[in-house]
Amino acid sequence: MRKSARRLAARYRALPGRRSRLKHFDPGDTAGLDIAKKKAQKLLESGIARLAELQDMLYAQDRWGVLVLFQAPDAAGKDSTIKHVMSGVNPQGVEVSSFKQPTSEELDHDYLWRSVKRLPERGRIGIFNRSYYEEVLVVRVHPNVLHAEKLPGELVSKKIWEERYEDINAFERYLSRNGYRILKFYLHVSRAEQKKRFLERLEVPEKNWKYSIDDVRERARWKDYQNAYDDMIRRTSTSWAPWHVIPADHKWFTRLTVAATIIDALEGLNLQYPRVDARRRRELAKARRELERE
């Protein structure tokens, strides 16, 4: 299990620096797997079971915090991936935060402020459904959003994106040096598959609620977003917080690969249940004798 998880994780890891581009990853790739839906579900269930075991040890050990970030175009499957992959994990050890348009309070702080407030405690997994990376994506594609952030005019220069990449890298390095394992997933969906899913949202009544007119407006900026994603991945995929570009045209494969990558990361933390010292063992033995005498 661990070897296969490691292979999948390595296959879609964006190399640090400028060597990885989105064009190097195929949204429809399945790593050569051609399996039925039921087989894929069984494999996912096996991965979820292992993930639950590792999460239990993470919680008991109480040393590491795990931060999992998801970024993707609309309809790439972030919500469903989080739902399926984390379905078997103890809810006490996981918290999902979805970051939408900043509130007036959040705009009165730096852009990392609201994310820092949602960082997971040690022993827990924190999932960011979108994140501070929106600041080099949506804000970059829509400059009017930047104007609403109340930055002093002299700080809004042509170098602002370079500066934000630098700040984000430093922030993630700080977290990694303080016991956080950071996993960043970009769900790489093709434009054709996105169109197919948008049409499904329009045609299937039970999915109408998912559709927003903004989806079409943002789709019109597809090329701008792809350029922003490409730059983001190249500039912020580091050895301490690498990006994983996950093929997203086949949802079953997306879920398997995300689960495998999280498992591989947790396996690498040397997780174990806390050992009981001699004094504690004597206390437990005494407690057992007292219970048996009842």
Which pLDDT tens digit goes with each residue over 131-172?
999 999 999 999 899 988 989 989 999 999 999 999 999 999
Which pLDDT value is given to residue 1?
A: 59
Which pLDDT value is given to residue 152?
A: 92
Helical H segments across 160-246, by residue range: 160-176, 191-203, 213-219, 222-236
Alpha carbon distance 221, 125 (integer Å)? 33
CA torsion 3-172-170-102 (nearest 10°) is: 140
Which pLDDT value is given to residue 28?
A: 96
- What is the amino acid identity at position 188? H
* pTM of this structure: 0.92
R_g (Cα) of the chain, nearest Å: 21
Task: Give the mean pLDDT of 27-48.
Answer: 90
Q: What band does 18 get if pLDDT is binned at 50, 70 and 90?
A: low
With tokens 């949204």, the residue in question is: 27
Alpha carbon distance 259, 124 (integer Å)? 16
Alpha carbon distance 71, 185 (integer Å)? 6
What mean pLDDT value characterizes the chain?
Answer: 92
* String of DSSP letters for 64-130: -EEEEEEE--TTS-HHHHHHHHTTTS-GGGEEEEE--SPPHHHHTS-TTHHHHTTPPPTT-EEEEES
Task: Give the mean pLDDT of 264-288.
Answer: 87
Task: Give the mean pLDDT of 239-253.
Answer: 96
The residues facing 246 across adjacent strands are 187
Number of H helices, E strands in the chain: 13, 5
Q: Measured between alpha carbons, how far is residue 83 from residues 57, 267, 281 in Å?
A: 21, 22, 40
Which pLDDT value is given to residue 222?
A: 96
